[in-house]
Structure 1
Amino acid sequence: MNNPFKNIGPGTLIAAAFIGPGTVTTCTLAGVQYGFTLLWAMVLSIVATIVLQEMAARLGIVYGEGLAETVKKQIKSSFIRAIAIILILSAILVGNAAYEAGNISGGVLGLQTIFSESTIAIGSFQLSPLSILVGIIAFVLLFIGNYKLIERFLVGLVLLMSVSFIITAIGTQPNMVSVLKGIFTPVIPKEGILTIIALVGTTVVPYNLFLHATLVKEKWKGESISANLKAARKDLYVSIILGGLVSMAIIISAAAIESQQVANASDLALSLAPLYGSFATYFLSLGLFAAGITSAITAPLAAAYVARGCFGWKKDLKSIKFRAVWIVVLLLGVVLSSVGVNPIEIIQFAQIANGLLLPIIAGFLLWVVNKKEVLGRYKNSVTQNIFGILILITACILGARTLLKVFGYI
């Protein structure tokens, strides 16, 4: 009998990475502020994610190298190559370290809704045991260095997260006519453009392009390229669409709240309790915990893969250099989260990195997947290029708007 889960993995990890606390919070605010109106923006974000991630997966399977390794090989000028490597490394490593604090804090928020909050005083610092707990779980899984174990753990958490948020959304008994109208009728509410930018920015994640290209070649070895590509695409489509449904479920759940005093999913869980019972609180809290811990694992892992590709380290998850990268990223996240540092400035810096990085990385990706010497007959078709260029232009506009927002010009 065929195992239906045999070809599930890399795509689910990508979904696990983009549905982090940032996505949960953004979707929550979109639902609270605009109801079902911005569901169409999430649909477009999912389409863009599928288009770019398919290119990354195709690169990994056909060429057998990650995105960082391919870019390094294809840039002939040593000076331009050095600039590209520095740009990729600085943006990915610093950006992921900044977001890691948010990932861990998100996992903690989920736990705090169920368990009472407590801190440990060490001198003038107040340490959060829950932050340390989330960090330890991520550390143990990454240190074991077994890809299949990491994959299975994250697949399980994604399923938990999906069930939690979708059940919560169904429990709010949304008006399906209004939901469908929100999905199929693009409307930009007054002052809603920044929320739309945020929805796209938290779904189309730059480091996922590096992560996916590497993971598919870890997952599918041997067999024919066509068979592996077919399996990778099926995994991608199912996983990212499921991720999109989860994001939409969060928007739908938040739309049930009348009050505007909701800043994150933890507030949403508490606000839903009087209307729909304590089950809503528990399901949302589990979903937020799963979202936080999955992203807390994938962000350091992606950073380590990028560093490995840029420096040409040996392909071993247990190598000292590989471990050193993800340990630094994870440790920074745990420290910033556990000592209660206000992450606003850190997240603003990460937004700058993300705003600059996405157009550049999407540009690199489009460039290499159009090279015949890289992909041969599997290079981009005209249709794929049209979608890719539209996404690249959109990424440039969104990146510019994000930077203007961060610097206070809009």
Structure 2
Amino acid sequence: MDSKNQSLFARIWLWMLSIGPGIFCIGYTVGTGSVTSMAKAGSQFGMELLWVLVLSCVFSWALMEAYGRYAIVTGNTSIYSFRTRLRGGNLIATLVVVGIVIAQWNSLSGILGLSANAIYEVAVLFFPDLPAQNYWAVLGIAVFLIVAMYGFLWVGKYSFFEKVLVVFVTLMGISFLISMFVVLPDPVAIVRGLKPSIPEVPGGKLLVAAFVGTTMAAPTFVVRPLLMKGKGWDERHTKEQSKDALLSASLMLVINLAIMAAAAGSLFVEGKTIEKVMDMVYTLEPIAGKFAVAIFMTGALSAGLSSIFPILMVAPLLVADYKEGVLDTASTRFRVLTGVACLVGLTVPILGANPILAQILTQVAAVFILPLVIACMLYLINRKDLMQAHRAGVWLNTGLIAALIFSLVISFTAYLALSEMIL
């Protein structure tokens, strides 16, 4: 490879690393939860729910900007600030930590189940003599994945975690974009999907809530200040923080849109819906052959691995934030809590549960903590004694208030969806 090409790749690599904490935000939000929610919605409703995705990404941008600006100006992290700056702060901080950890650990179990099942299904595709289902093989794959990811965490350096996620997120984005262009849906359908509507069919409300749960993910905003502190960002990095928030939200929109569009273009037009991840690959296969399998599965597995990594870290990050507001990835507490998360993550593979349904339900559960997370920052970023001249202006406040109203509506929608399932 000549020096010119090496220079180009070096620039691309440095640019990806410059995204900084945004890489972790993408890891929390664009995982197999997004793959399943976006692909299932695209296969069942075409581009009808595109409006939910767009609003979620816009509000995510506003929230990342707010949390990032607060951290840059005050030097304080989220949970620590909730505990020390709010009336009833101990209770609020505890509710946020417990709510996020439970939702993320449940999500981890679904993600691990999906990734293990997807790998085995690819093996069946290339080796037809294997049984269609093999509980022990899937469980073995899940154990291998979680042990490997836990091993990475023992390296204990933020910069290393960031580089691993850069690789996963890059592979994921490229793979899903290629998949979308293989079976691009009708542009008119894409434009029509920007009109707000909720499908009046069984599962419609559930998917809307899952959309928001996987895109406006609470840990995306709450953990971001701690990650910025770990990267060494301070008030001198105001522009970098804003760029990071915008770029992260934009990549979330593009990648999720690509997944939904690929499913709408390949499955919705055929009248088929997704019950497992490989359903989408099988539909792409007649168009692009085994190449489609390789492309989509690279994206799906990268999505899974890019989510497992930061989710394993969420509990020790939030506990550290609650106690002292300092990122420490080499402590005994960090390694014990990530180890517990690994064990919880094996729940779905051990039970042999349907990982698609498990993933969607955990994404729905995540929306209930979201209004509290938004309301706390809306208050803090408007305190003059903390923010001085950097208080939220008209546009940011408008975005945060709209995000709060949206989150309350979606939480109610999730309640209705879960009530319908129970009844």
- TM-score using structure 1 length: 0.89
Q: Structure 1's 352 and 202: CA in aligned 2 closer, same or farther, altered over 3 A? A: closer
Amino acid at match of 1:287: G
Aligned to 1:21: 32
Cα pair 1:9 1:235 within 8 Å, conserved: yes
CA distance in 2, matches of 1:148, 1:40: 35
Selected match of 2:97 from 73, 78, 89: 89
CA distance in 1, matches of 2:337, 2:309: 13
For residue 235 of structure 1, report the CA deviation from its aligned partner: 2.0
Aligned to 1:129: 140
Aligned to 2:4: none
Cα pair 1:127 1:339 within 8 Å, conserved: no
1:241 aligns to 2:253 (yes or no): no
1:146-204 Cα deviation digits (max 9, x unpaired)? 11111011011101000000001001143334334434x44444334443332222200
| % identity of equivalent residues | 25
Q: Structure 1's 33 and 271: CA in aligned 2 closer, same or farther, altered over 3 A? A: same
Aligned to 2:302: 290
1:387 aligns to 2:399 (yes or no): yes
Q: Structure 1's 85 and 4: CA in aligned 2 closer, same or farther, altered over 3 A? A: closer
Aligned to 1:156: 167
CA distance in 1, matches of 2:15, 2:287: 38
Gap regions ≥5 residues in structure 2: 1-6, 125-129
Aligned to 2:50: 39
Aligned to 1:330: 342
The correspondence of residues 171-250 of structure 1 with structure 2, limited to 5 A, is 171-183=182-194, 185-191=195-201, 192-221=204-233, 225=235, 227-250=236-259
For residue 302 of structure 1, report the CA deviation from its aligned partner: 2.0
Selected match of 2:282 from 270, 293, 296: 270
Q: Structure 1's 178 and 119: CA in aligned 2 closer, same or farther, altered over 3 A? A: closer
Which secondary structure state, in structure 2, belongs to the residue aligned with residue 144 of structure 1? coil
Q: Structure 1's 8 and 276: CA in aligned 2 closer, same or farther, altered over 3 A? A: same
Number of aligned residue pairs: give it. 399
CA distance in 1, matches of 2:365, 2:42: 26
Amino acid at match of 2:146: G
CA distance in 2, matches of 1:229, 1:110: 41
For residue 342 of structure 1, report the CA deviation from its aligned partner: 5.0
Please say which of residues 82-91 and 98-107 is displaced more in the overlay. 82-91
CA distance in 2, matches of 1:341, 1:251: 24
Please say which of residues 306-315 and 240-249 is displaced more in the overlay. 306-315
Please say which of residues 104-113 and 87-96 is displaced more in the overlay. 104-113
CA distance in 2, matches of 1:165, 1:346: 23
Q: Structure 1's 120 and 351: CA in aligned 2 closer, same or farther, altered over 3 A? A: closer
Please say which of residues 230-239 and 258-267 is displaced more in the overlay. 258-267
1:206-247 Cα deviation digits (max 9, x unpaired)? 11112212112222436xx2x412112212212221221111
Aligned to 1:71: 82
Which secondary structure state, in structure 2, belongs to the residue aligned with residue 4 of structure 1? helix
1:240-288 Cα deviation digits (max 9, x unpaired)? 2122111111111111211324224321112221233222221111111
Cα pair 1:107 1:292 within 8 Å, conserved: yes
CA distance in 2, matches of 1:375, 1:265: 46
For residue 375 of structure 1, report the CA deviation from its aligned partner: 2.2
Q: Structure 1's 245 and 326: CA in aligned 2 closer, same or farther, altered over 3 A? A: same
CA distance in 2, matches of 1:99, 1:197: 14
For residue 101 of structure 1, report the CA deviation from its aligned partner: 0.3
- Cα root mean square deviation, aligned: 2.6
Amino acid at match of 1:106: L
Which secondary structure state, in structure 1, belongs to the residue aligned with residue 19 of structure 2? coil
Cα pair 1:165 1:250 within 8 Å, conserved: yes
Q: Structure 1's 269 and 127: CA in aligned 2 closer, same or farther, altered over 3 A? A: closer
1:312 aligns to 2:320 (yes or no): no
Which secondary structure state, in structure 2, belongs to the residue aligned with residue 115 of structure 1? helix
CA distance in 1, matches of 2:257, 2:121: 22
Q: Structure 1's 404 and 217: CA in aligned 2 closer, same or farther, altered over 3 A? A: same
Aligned to 1:145: 156
CA distance in 1, matches of 2:385, 2:212: 32
Q: Structure 1's 374 and 53: CA in aligned 2 closer, same or farther, altered over 3 A? A: same
1:301 aligns to 2:313 (yes or no): yes
For residue 377 of structure 1, report the CA deviation from its aligned partner: 1.6
1:357 aligns to 2:369 (yes or no): yes
Cα pair 1:109 1:266 within 8 Å, conserved: no
Aligned to 1:112: 120
1:62-103 Cα deviation digits (max 9, x unpaired)? 222221011111025xxx233223312321222221111012
Amino acid at match of 1:67: S
Q: Structure 1's 93 and 195: CA in aligned 2 closer, same or farther, altered over 3 A? A: closer
Amino acid at match of 1:326: T
For residue 357 of structure 1, report the CA deviation from its aligned partner: 0.5
Aligned to 1:253: 262
Q: Structure 1's 72 and 360: CA in aligned 2 closer, same or farther, altered over 3 A? A: same
Aligned to 1:98: 106
Amino acid at match of 2:200: K
